[in-house]
Amino acid sequence: MTELAPLITGFLRDYMPRQRGYSPQSCETYAFSFKLLFNFAAKRLGTRPSLLRIEDLDAPMIVAFLAHIEQDRGNSASTRNVRLAAIKAFMRYLEHKVPSALEQIGRVHAIPSKRHDQKLIRHLTMEEVRAILNGPDLATRSGIRDRAMMHLCFAGGLRVSELIGVLTADLSLRHGASVTVLGKGRKERCLPLWKDTARDIRAWLSVRGEVRVPELFVNAQGDPMTRAGFEYVLDKYVVKAAESCVSLRDRRVSPHQLRHGCAVVMLQATRDIRKVALWLGHADIRTTEVYLRMDPSEKLEAVEAVVPPELRRGRFKAPDALIASLLSDLAIPAYSERVRPRAEFPTDTV
C-alpha cells in the first residue's frame, strides 16, 4: 500500500463528513469521481489502483482523465467540471499533508474549468404532471404510495435526495399541512402543502402500516425508498401517461424535471424569483434565474410593456431601368408602352 491509500481514505471518511460536514450524497459523489480517476490512472500506467502514488496524479494525468470522461464515457462538460472540482478539493487537502508535493498540486489547481453551452432546461407542464399523477391505481397500496410520493416531489419542488429523506416526524398535517425538508448545505426549509397533496399523503399514511424505519416512503420490503426505486416508479408512470399525453411519448423524464415543473408554476404564480429561490432551497438566487430564461411569459410581458418606435413609412418607386429589365425578362414588349415610367409598388421600408 502506498502513501496515497491512507490519504484518500482520510479525505473521504474523516475530512469530508466529520470536519467539513458534507452530506453522505456528496461523499458518494466524490468517491465515485476518485474511483473513475484511479481506474483510469492504473490502466494508463499498467498497475493496480492500490499501487498508485501521489506523484502519479500529476497535471498531465488529470488532463488526460478529463478528456477520457468526455470522449470515451460521453460525459458532458458540466460533469467534467464536477470531477475536476472533486480532484482539486483533494489536492487542497494534500497541501497540509504532503508539503513536498506543493508544486505538483499547484499545477493541478491551474487546470481551468471548461466553459459550456447552457441550454434551456426541460420541465414538465401541468398537463404532463396531471397525466403522470393520474397513472397510479389508487385501489392498491403501492399505487397510493406512488401517487403521494410523486405528488409531494412535484408540489414541494424536491430533489430526490430530499424526497426519500423525508421522515414521518417531518410532517405536520394539522391546522395547515406542511413538511420540513433538509436540503443542500444541511439547510432546513418548511414548505406548506397543497390540500390535494396533503390528502394523498394522509391516504398513504393510512395504509403505510408499521414499519421499522422512520422514513415516510418505503419500498415493498419496508426499507427506505432509494433514488433508483423512485426513478423506476416515475419511469413506469411516464410510460403509462404517454398513452394519453402525446408530449410524453419517446421522452426521457428525470425526477428533476418534476422540480423544474414546480419552479415554473411557482414563478408564473408569484412573478417573484426570490420566492421561487426560497421554495426550492437555492443558496444563490443566480441559480434560480435559469427559470427566467425558460419561461416565455416573462419575455411576453416585457414585449407588451415596451412601446415600439414609430417608424416612417414609404413607398418603393421602381426605376425605369428595373421596369425595362422586368419586361424584357417576361418577353412582353408589346405592353411596354402601357407601363408608367414611374410605377409605384407599395411596401414598407425601415
**Catalytic amino acids?**
159, 184, 256, 259, 282, 291
Measure the N-to-C terminal CA separation of the chain; round to a whole number of Å.
76
> Phi/psi of residue 223, each to 5°?
-90, 160
Nearest to 124 by CA among 259, 230, 234: 259
d(CA 8, CA 89): 11
| All cell numbers assigned to 44 | 494508463
C-alpha–C-alpha distance, residues 209 and 41, integer Å: 50
| Local structure of 179: helix, strand or coil | strand
Type and span of the H or E element at 171: strand 171-172
Q: How far apart are CA 264 and CA 293, in angstroms?
A: 11
CA distance 84 to 89: 9
Instruction: List, in order, residues 6 or more apart from 163 with CB less than 8 Å away.
Output: 149, 152, 153, 156, 217, 225, 230, 255
Q: Which residues contact 142 (CB under 8 A, 6 or more apart)?
A: 136, 220
Angle at 17 between CA 179 and CA 223, to 5 degrees: 50
* Orientation of helix 255-270 relative to helix 227-241, angle to 10°: 70
